[in-house]
Amino acid sequence: MGHKSFLHTALWLLVILPLLLAGASRNQKRTVPKTEYRSWSVYGGGAENIRYSALDQINRENVDKLEVAWTFDTGDSFADSEMQCNPIMVDGVLYATTPKLRVIALDASQGKLLWTFDPNDAPVRSPVRNRGLTYWGEGDERRIYIVARQFLHAIDAKTGKPVPAFGDSGRVDLRQGLGRNPKEVSITSTTPGVIYRGLLILGSMMSEDLPSPPGDIRAYDVRTGKLRWSFHTIPHPGEFGYDTWPKDAWKYSGSANNWAGMSVDEKRGLVFAPTGSAAFDFYGSNRLGDDLFANTLIALDARTGKRVWHFQAVKHDLWDRDFPAPPGLVTVERNRRLIDAVSQTTKSGHVFVFERETGKPLFPLEYRKVPPTEVDGEKTAETQPLPLKPPPFARQIFTEEMVTRRTPEVHQAVLEQLQKVRSAGQFVPPSVEGTVIFPGFDGGAEWGGAAFDPETGLLYVNSNEMPWILRLVPRPKIQGRTSGRDIYLQACANCHRQDLHGSPPEFPSLVEIGNKYVDAEIRTMIREGRGRMPAFAQLSREEMRGLVHYLMTGEDTAVAAPTFQTPWPFGLKYTSDGYNKFLDPDGYPAVEPPWGTLNAINLDTGEIAWKIPFGEYPELVAKGIRDTGSENYGGPVVTAGGLVFIGATDRDSKFHAFDKATGKLLWQTTLPAAGNATPAVYEADGREFVVIAAGGGKSGAPSGGKYVAFALPKN
């Protein structure tokens, strides 16, 4: 080859080779390695939290032949109990929790009990929630981690015994290390933590009102339980975001917590943590500003806890618009290129999609100007972000044209009530008249999360379409002499209502609580808190006596020497009148159906692929009223067999299998109680199993305590 010919060839390669490589990149194909997504050893199916199984023994052609392979009765159900656990399966053993928060280990192919662990220090009489467990194994060590009340427990996965070397005799007190008096902290975690290289990274659940601890995201050594790092979701002086809060907010404000769970990109060493609102949820005169990192998707360096990027979906949240579920670590196609991304569903019925390493939005966002508040002392953000694609998977505004027409009488009753409150879509500020929150406080999307199919790029999410009414009321002041009822109205009525009836099951009724608990038990709950209930350790003996007497008898007695003061430097003028669903006179949603939907969203194009009503009311079906949809709690899983499995519909207790391409119902059965949990899919002894917790207990539905596993007949 001559010199000129060589130069010509070299120049040609320099020009053409990059184009060929770019073309190859643009023409990437979706492939799922056969060795991936075949186990269920992590909450949500894997570290990516996409709720996908590559198993296909059960498929479109044979799903109608599914039968009950085994049932395990925990024996722990009681009135109003729930069981929301997404079980995990490791080495032929299924690990799960019961309505009373016992940990159980079952033979995964037969459902036989191998061992049980009870973390409770006292009998369980009120509902507790748990959505899953964390597994870690290395060498000869195998451990299960669970949070019960304020303690993180480490259990030997082989024996069910506590691991003595972990923390204090097998447990760590989560009240420690938050910069607050541990005796005045109420904290727990209902969603399991995630594992990254010897670290257990954990969020928390706490009160919706003050006093509430900060929602620090923390990493513990899996072997010793020692705290390795903390990320302050309410920034301290000198930290990023500190200027979005009042000067000393980190000392007194609370929440901004990750209660929904996290996802881990193990290759990049990133943990993705979505957070909820700051306390108090609905009035924020003591936290004026954007309140970063509340309502934020945070990408953290999993090794150090350092912020890599973030996106705040709601600035200065006044609507309880928590991110409700872990994000999915997905792969989307753009210009024939595959891009690693993170997708996050919201209570408002939106999906945000970001480039995983940088946080760059993969669909356009718009910061829209929103209405200002008229409530004194409050200041709302001027703009809020909304994605322009995909379109919302839930309706966004409750108008008079959408009022239920189930009967002329209920239509008129709801219409008259709607005309008395404010209903103008997203980000209309809370008001003393009442503001419609639609979709409601439970979504849109909720804690059940979404399933993503890496074969097709479709995201599956179930949605609620229940309107709620948020109304602000003056918070009672305590001045001079006070009484047990005054303390109740100041500290408890936001959740349990002024009439003590609560908003079950989230906030239980306290009517006749003296028939359920003795005086000492009530005092302990008030002093230490429980779950979303704050701790009121600062109450004096006289104040405690007056409050407990009022709760147990309904009699209001004076407190001679009051010391109870608002535990924040800026007394909050307003609270809410409770969590109130907007229902018609017969107890059905005030809006026209569908009241619940199941949606398939194409994350490549940003279009909704299909949408169907999801759930029914048996008593309406008996009258010929079908396909209304219903509230639904618990999430879907999607499989390589072409199926979407989901329970969730609490009114009819059905467990369903849909064609993932079309939404056609292929199979369903009735569970012993509603399957308000996400199923798990695994293989044991050569058979594919789909197992779900039938716990019920939502919206007045009967409670249960059984795990039910389905498989194809052995022959």
- The number of angstroms, rounded, from the C-alpha of 219 to the middle of its chain's C-alpha atoms is 20
Instruction: Of 689, 675, 683, give the one whose Cα is nearest residue 633.
Output: 675
Q: How many whole angstroms separate alpha carbon 465 and alpha carbon 459?
A: 19
User: Tens of pLDDT along 492-524?
Assistant: 777 787 788 776 666 778 888 887 788 877 877
The pair of structure tokens assigned to 707 is 């795990």
Is the pLDDT at 20 greater than 60? The verdict is no
User: Tens of pLDDT along 627-649?
Assistant: 999 999 999 999 999 999 999 99
| Beta strand spans in 481-629 (E) | 482-483, 558-559, 574-576, 580-581, 596-602, 607-613
Give the CATH class of 43-471+582-711.
mainly beta
User: Tens of pLDDT along 549-605?
Assistant: 888 888 888 876 555 554 444 468 999 998 999 999 999 999 999 999 999 999 999
User: Tens of pLDDT along 122-144?
Assistant: 898 888 999 999 999 999 999 99
Q: How many whole angstroms separate alpha carbon 536 and alpha carbon 543?
A: 10
Rounded to the nearest integer, the mean pLDDT of the chain is 91
Lowest-pLDDT choice from 95-99, 472-476, 626-630, 680-684: 472-476
Q: Which CATH superfamily is domain 479-565 in?
A: Cytochrome c-like domain (1.10.760.10)
The number of beta carbons lying within 10 Å of the beta carbon of residue 616 is 21
User: Tens of pLDDT along 692-714?
Assistant: 999 999 988 899 999 999 999 99
Asked if the domains 43-471+582-711 and 479-565 are classified in one and the same CATH topology, the answer is: no
- Domain extent listing, the chain: 43-471+582-711, 479-565
Q: How many whole angstroms separate alpha carbon 112 and alpha carbon 92?
A: 12
pLDDT score at 107: 98
